[in-house]
Structure 1
Amino acid sequence: MKKQEKEAIYEYHLHADSPGKMQFEVQSLQDGIKDHQEDMSKPHIHSFYQVIWFKSGNGKHFVDFNEYDVSENTIFFIAKNQVHAFDHNPDYQGFVIHFSEDFLVQKENDVDFFLKCSMFNNPYQIPSCCVGSGNEYKLDEYIVQMQTELKEHDKYGQEELLRLYLKAFLIQVQRRKYELEQLNKGLAPFIVDEKRTQLIHFVNLIEENYTKGLPASQYAEMLFVSLRTLSNLTLQLLNKKPSEMIHERIVLEAKRLLLHSELNVNQIADKIGFEDSSYFIRYFKKYTGQSPTSFRKSFQ
């Protein structure tokens, strides 16, 4: 990986010096910490997706202004452009999987779409899962297969085989997440039904268009449903209005830029689609209770 300075935050790119190289790799977590702990403990972003499997060790991991516990067999799913940071524990053991969106998604079938947009691009679920002791053996097998295949060179079907191992790994983790949800909340077995898929499509559209100032009605049109149908969907599954979800994504990006860049308030307003910086200030204060400047100072 190569890092380049972007304002006050680092952005990491996978094989930046070798753009033709396969956009996939598996690394030892302990080796990464040994070589790059200082950089890893600073807030940073990636232009690719990352799966972090903490096989052993206890501590904290920081994702978009939230602190999450790390314990044995905790797995984190970090989306591209998501701000995160490690703590200073030097004793973690585990693996990190890096891959680009193009590597995972080839034909945008239902499974690919769901894995990409539910596990990595979903701000309405915890970005981690504890697979638990005794459930990790299948995941270990996939890691071994990935590592073995990566040692080969120019073998027929290598990229496709690695993609299959990656999907199998993610599917196994997703299954475990659903099992835990059902146990903890007494939920019925999870079904990837039309409503859930439509919600994920809406979340994905927000991610692609939140800087354009589109109203909820326009998102409904893009989904080929009425605004009432979209509202019923988000209220039923998340207890949120569509407009709330749009506002939350805009405010999240504003917070990221306020804390992790050197842009001034006017520049941030422009970057996230506000023509009038004074309106941006009122907007931010309405949804956070603080002005952008006060929010920034509170973290200094």
Structure 2
Amino acid sequence: MDTVKNYDKVNGDPVSLEIRIDELITAYEKSQGQPDEPHRHDFYTVLLVEKSQGKHLIDFNEYPFGEKQVFFVAPGQVHQVVDEIPPKGFAVLFSQSFLLRNNISEHFIHDLNLFHDFGYAPPVELSDESMQKICSYGSDMFTIQNNPKTFSSEALGALLKLILIECHQACTLPNDLFLQSENGKSSLIRNFKELIESNYQDWHGVQDYAENLNISTDHLNRVVKAQTGKTAKEHIQSKIVVEAKRLLYFSDMSSKEIGYLLGFSEPANFSAFFKKQTGSSPSNFQPKN
């Protein structure tokens, strides 16, 4: 049984705008400075951090808070915020339906390469100029949210796109990312990741994905490595490791049950895989009662 807390509504109201902008200090004061519990959302989260100290844990990876940072948390990722001082900045939460209503496509979100469903998800580090611009957008969104008028949703959608584009342009991604997307490579990456999400429990080899995509394993590896910096095999293994960690830490399933669920025919094979990837055995990773 999965015991990690899950939030499925941005505002807790199914007829809301499905977007919310909060000042980071609000959550800090509400919790009296105590860390929140590890949890996941069914929506997107963007943290615009002007200044803070502490750490942000995303799928068991720890990132220190500092200044001029933007964190991106995809739906389904487990994260926890630990602030050591009152933070300054904004949290922007938005749902898939908000994106659709504002004609912001899933392809656009994917091609930005800011949200990572699994694996390494460090913050985007910004210059003074970029951070000032993004926080200005965040402040405008906060004002619009609290003083709604005609076309407020459209205004929030436009400002959200500006934040995402500014972050994309500021982060250290390959300069030819969008040029590559024009010749179909970005579409291939998107399809590959969607297949991983659907089949990681059954397909552990690159060949399974290549066959489904009607390409060779060499071609899949070349494109994935060129666009993401990681091999196809590393993407597949990252997804399996993240799901294993979530189940080991947040469920009451045994290591043996988790191994079978993730497609390993023998518990020893799962244990060997997990230890090779993480340096820890499954039993040692599980929290002690």
Residue equivalent to 1:176: 170
Question: What residue number does 1:86 align with?
Answer: 81
Tell me, in whole angstroms, the C-alpha distance in 1 between the residues paired with 2:271 and 2:106: 41
Residue 97 of structure 2 is aligned with which of 96, 102, 107? 102
**Residue in structure 2 matched with residue 199 of structure 1 by the alignment:** 189
1:112–1:17 Cα change, 3 Å: closer
In 2 relative to 1, CA 59–217 (structure 1 residues): closer, same or farther, beyond 3 Å?
A: same
- TM-aligned CA deviation for residue 111 of structure 1: 2.4
Alignment-mate amino acid for residue 137 of structure 2: Y
C-alpha deviation, 1:143, in angstroms: 1.7
Q: Does the residue aligned with 1:259 lie in a helix, a strand or coil?
A: helix
2:47 is the alignment partner of 1:57: no
1:169 CA displacement = 0.9
Give the C-alpha shift of residue 128 in structure 1: 0.6
Q: Is the 8 A contact 2:203 2:209 kept in 1?
A: no
Offset, 1:293: 1.1
Matched, 1:158 2:152: yes
- Bigger shift: residues 206-215 or 24-33: 206-215
Q: TM-score, normalised by structure 1?
A: 0.80
Q: Is the 8 A contact 1:41 1:88 kept in 2?
A: no
For the Cα contact (< 8 Å) 2:2–2:247, is it kept in 1?
no
Total equivalences in the alignment: 283
Asked whether the equivalents of residues 122 and 203 of structure 1 are also in contact (C-alpha less than 8 Å), the reply is no
2: CA distance, partners of 1:89 / 1:114: 34
- Describe the superposition over 1:197-253 as per-residue Cα deviations: whole angstroms up to 9, x where unpaired: 533442343233322336423322443422221022234455654233212210221
Give the conservation status (yes or no) of the 8 Å contact 1:43–1:260.
no
**Pair 1:147-2:142 in alignment:** yes
Q: What is the match of residue 255 of structure 2? A: 265
Q: Does the residue aligned with 1:22 lie in a helix, a strand or coil?
A: coil
Aligned partner of residue 177 in structure 2, secondary structure: coil
Separation in 1, partners of 2:54, 2:256? 37
2-structure distance, mates of 1:31, 1:63 = 21
Over the aligned positions, Cα root-mean-square deviation in angstroms equals: 3.0
Asked if 1:137 corresponds to 2:132, the answer is yes
What does residue range 1-300 of structure 1 map to in structure 2 within 5 Å? 7-15=2-10, 17-36=12-31, 40-105=35-100, 106=103, 108=105, 110-115=107-112, 118-121=113-116, 123=118, 126-153=121-148, 155-178=149-172, 189-192=175-178, 193-194=180-181, 195-213=185-203, 215-237=205-227, 240-274=230-264, 277=267, 279-296=269-286
C-alpha deviations, 1:236-282, integer Å up to 9, x for none?
45565423321221022101221233322244235434565454334
Question: 5+ unaligned residues in a row in structure 2: which ranges?
Answer: none
Counterpart of 1:75 in 2: which secondary structure? strand
- Cα distance change on mapping 1:223 and 1:41 into 2, 3 Å: same
Q: What TM-score comes out, normalization by structure 2 length?
A: 0.82
CA–CA distance in structure 2, aligned partners of residues 286 and 43 of structure 1? 25
Tell me if structure 1 keeps the 8 A contact 2:52–2:85.
no
* Structure 2: distance between partners of 1:265 and 1:238: 31
SS in 2 for 1:206: helix
1:172 deviates by: 0.8
Deviation at 1:28, TM superposition (A): 0.9
Counterpart of 1:3 in structure 2 is none
Distance 1:223 1:108, change over 3 A: farther
| Residues 61 and 70, structure 1, Cα contact 8 Å, conserved in 2 | yes
The sequence identity of aligned pairs, in percent, is 29
